[in-house]
Amino acid sequence: MLTEQFFIQGLGCASYLIGDEQTNTAAVIDPDRDVQKYLDAASERGLKIIHIIETHLHADHVSGNTELQHRLNTPTETAQIYLPRGADAKFPHIELQANESLTLGSVQIKILETPGHTPESITLLISDTARGAEPVLALTGDTLFVGDVGRPDLVGEDAARKLAGAMFDSLHEKILPLADGLLVYPGHGAGSLCGRAMGTMRVSTIGYERLTNPALAPRTRDEFILFNTSDLPEQPANNKRIKQMNRQGPRVLGKIVPRALNVAQALAQFQRGAGLLDTRAKANYVARHIPGAVHLELNDQLSNRIGMLLPPESQLVLLLDEPADYVRVAYMLARVGFENVAGYLENLEEWQARGYPVTSGDVQDIDPRELENRIANDSRLMIVDVREPWEFRNGHVPNAKLIPLGELHARYTELDPETPVAVICQSGNRSQTGAALLAQKGFKQVFNVREGTTGWKRRGFPIET
């Protein structure tokens, strides 16, 4: 038996290739849209992918199931897509039933229904029957993570308590009775918003989680329901649309090819309502950018944050540090449902040379010491903390106003655009995005606080809780 894990930094999504060396067949579990890595891994090992399995309908990323099937299908061969019973998917697939098994030669994949994160969530118990009948690993999807369990609120607040109760039952009646040494391969890891405190390890065991996972500490069912529905992080941006795309069947993207746009072509897109997404390094953006651009630096958080700033149906023109970044950015957008990329602006110098506007002074960096000085000398200064409520409660700059980054695009009207605004987060990363958004909305004087609340605390400045 062969097992390989694939992990997306930032989104924290894990997917898997399970293969059988005797029959040279394989299954891919929870694929994301950039499917070439599965095809390459299978090809390197001489495997033929015949099963594409989802552990549930995802809310944080668009699945690559239809994309992978499209790449694999030939006139004589078809890879099948499998979804759990109750997923209510609207595209061709095979429904998995409780206790059913799929096989890859001597590899057996048993279906264990484990509702909680979603009503249809399943766990896959994998056995290598050439060595023994007992399962060797569990692909737990979003039921059990390393150091956490799945959140129950992504299908709606009203259903959260019921699903939290189902999660308690799934864990205590189906997962925790399994053998201590059974390997746990979760569907998400650190960085994901599908839980709240996932560990950085990407593999664990049932025994280790039973001993160390805070979510599995002894609690009554009612106590667990309260625990599992309290202090949850922000929901993944655009989650309802992502879930609907996964239910309807994701559109096949095909090969993504960079499309360079000259100034005239970019202007035509802007006149039709396209937005400009600037993914260049922060220093390059601060030095010179096009007014009205949304700035999201190309890093692991781009997928998590784009839905906080733009509607998913937006037509986008990209501004890149390097043309080679195009495919990476396009996939990071497509993973969270942004499929309408017109191309990238090929030449910022030509844009400026032809007299179209650029700016550099709408966001200024300041450090915590300068923030303290400005607080003391300018009573008009508004401090906006764009962290999550639980972070804010753990300590914030006095008199700061909490507007989580995911809410800023809808709540910026609560602020006065004529008043100086200092945007702060934990480290200066989220705040840069928030500051750029306020500048885009026409705020006259915007500051980004480098080092964030961490730097403020390190200098011994006062903290409110």
Q: How far apart are CA 331 and CA 11, in angstroms?
A: 12
Query: What is the dihedral angle through the alpha carbons of 144, 148, 151, 152, rounded to the nearest 10 degrees?
Result: 60
- Which of 425, 435, 446, 449 is catalytic? The answer is 425
Task: Of 107, 116, 112, 109, give the one whose Cα is nearest residue 97.
Answer: 112
Bridge pairing between strands 316-319 and 13-20: unpaired
Q: How far apart are CA 141 and CA 121, in angstroms?
A: 7
Q: How far apart are CA 155 and CA 333, in angstroms?
A: 22
Q: How far apart are CA 306 and CA 392, in angstroms?
A: 22
Q: How far apart are CA 403 and CA 78, in angstroms?
A: 49
DSSP, collapsed to helix, strand or coil, labels residue 171 as helix
- Cβ atoms of 387 and 416 within 8 Å: the answer is no
The DSSP H or E segment spanning 41 is helix 36-44
Annotated catalytic residue 425: yes
Task: Of 6, 78, 7, 70, give the one whose Cα is nearest residue 48.
Answer: 78
Which residues are CB-contacts of 251 (< 8 A; sequence separation ≥ 6)?
Answer: 66, 245, 339
Active site residues: 425
